[in-house]
Amino acid sequence: MHSSRSGKNASRGSAALRVLYFSLFISLVFVLITLFSPVKKALVCSKRINILLMGISETDYAKFAEVIKIISYEPVTGFLDIVSVPRDTMIPVSTDITWKGIQKLDEIYSRLEREYGADTTVLSGEFRDVLEKFLDNYLEINYYIQVDYRSFVDFIDKLGGVEIDVQRRMQYTDKAQNLHIDISTGVQKMNGEQALKYVRFRDKIMGDIERQDRQHKFLKQVLQKVKSPSIIPKVPVLIKAVADNVDTNLSFADILVLADEIRNIDLDNFRIQKIPGKPVTKWGKSYWEVDEMAVREVLDVVRNSQLVNLPELKIDVNSRLSDTITAEVWNATDTGNMARDLTDYLRKRNVDVVRYGNFGAYKKYTQIISRNGDLASAREVSRIIGCRNIKTELDTSRMVDINIVIGHDFRPPWKKQIIDQ
């Protein structure tokens, strides 16, 4: 009896050792593969990583960049910003290209594709140059990922689908592209084909702006699923799907490093930024005309995200906003009455706080969330409370211009006023 028990214990010990050796072996392989990865080197040196993500659609006569986003990751604080660039963005071009002197951003991609189509590295490099120049080189785009419909569908299917809460019914038919969309409201788990229709749907009234919001919502759900422990067995398949089916200048080692880094990203640090502007019509075409000053400020928010935990901004405690804006204030700290005190402070400065209270969860960083897409209002408020962390997350159902979530890093400006006096 004793001998049998000893044998079982020895067997368990041997199995545990095998698991340990295997884990060490996998860790060693990972280290060796990623040793010379430029992405790994950048992360170790705390350097920002910027990736151009392009979703490519194709017709019988041309290819277009239907989705254009810059993914910007700051490894010091772990902020992940998604900067959406509307495909209709109006870009100045030489009159040698077109007498109009302007083209849409996706038209520029299509033109470059006709010229360099066989060489996606040169094509993407040229397109990155156009985008960087347009953004005044505020962000250096290190890498690109180009995804077509087939690759997208394949990745979502291998992921096991994504659960999405559809807010309103989506119906659209385009016989020319053989596209039929009919998605009902409610929570549903979408496979690759369904997810593609969800992110492609473009409302006739809201246009590309609403579609961008839906794409951001979908992307956040994908990240949430990728971070889930249940996805671990699928990681090799997913990495292979990315490496095999997308055009990118990221090496296999770089993809491994990024996959490992994603597991540690706090989704509270996931921010959406949009290129501010307005729709205009020229020669019968709709364009997105950017607000150049506002673009610089948006990119400053992204580029300076590593500063959120540095000493507070200089605050003008005596200033008032030029126009009244509406706000919600939520306390995500363990300090009592913080939301009420900030509400009193803001109401004296032309901010109409319609709701305040406890957030219900702890947050490390204070955050201002623009709910109507007007970043100018959010920036004004940031200057009177000393918050660098601003993002856009449209939600007109809340009936306010901004949300303020008070985090652990918040330094009450009214206390500063007392000290200064």
Question: Residue 115: how many CB atoms within 10 A of its CB?
Answer: 12
pLDDT for residue 125: 84
- What is the rounded (10 degree) CA torsion for 212, 216, 219, 223? 170
* Lowest model confidence (mean pLDDT) among 42-46, 117-121, 241-245: 117-121
Measured distance CA(176)–CA(191) in Å, rounded: 24
Residue 129 is which amino acid? D
Sign, Cα dihedral of 21, 22, 24, 25: positive
Q: How confident is the model at residue 246 (pLDDT cuts 50, 70, 90)?
A: confident
What does the block give as tokens for 284? 């019968």
Q: What is the model's pLDDT at position 6? A: 54
What order do you get walking across the sheet with 402-406 strand by strand?
351-358, 325-331, 402-406, 367-370, 390-392
Residues contacting residue 102 through CB under 8 Å, at least 6 positions apart? 90, 91, 92, 93, 282, 287
71-80, 87-96, 190-199, 296-305, range with the lowest pLDDT = 296-305
Which of residues 220 and 21 earns the better pLDDT score?
Answer: 220
Domain ranges in the chain are 2-35, 41-302, 308-420
Q: Do domains 41-302 and 308-420 have the same CATH topology?
A: no
- Count of positions (residues) in the chain: 421
- Going 106 to 112 to 114 to 118, the CA torsion angle's sign is negative
Helix axes 235-245, 252-262, angle to 10 degrees: 140
pLDDT of residue 176: 64
Tell me which of 391 and 53 has the higher pLDDT: 53
Q: The CATH number of 308-420 is which of 3.30.70, 1.10.3470, 3.30.200, 3.30.190?
A: 3.30.70
Mean pLDDT to the nearest integer, 48-55: 91
Distance from C-alpha of 139 to C-alpha of 122, rounded to nearest angstrom: 20
Q: Name the superfamily (CATH) of residues 41-302.
A: LCP protein (3.40.630.190)
Model pTM score: 0.69
The answer to whether 160 and 121 are in contact (CB under 8 A) is: no
Mean pLDDT of 206-214: 71
Please state, in angstroms and rounded to a whole number, the distance separating the CA atoms of residues 382 and 298: 13
Going from the C-alpha of 210 to that of each of 80, 216, 354, the distances in angstroms are 21, 10, 26
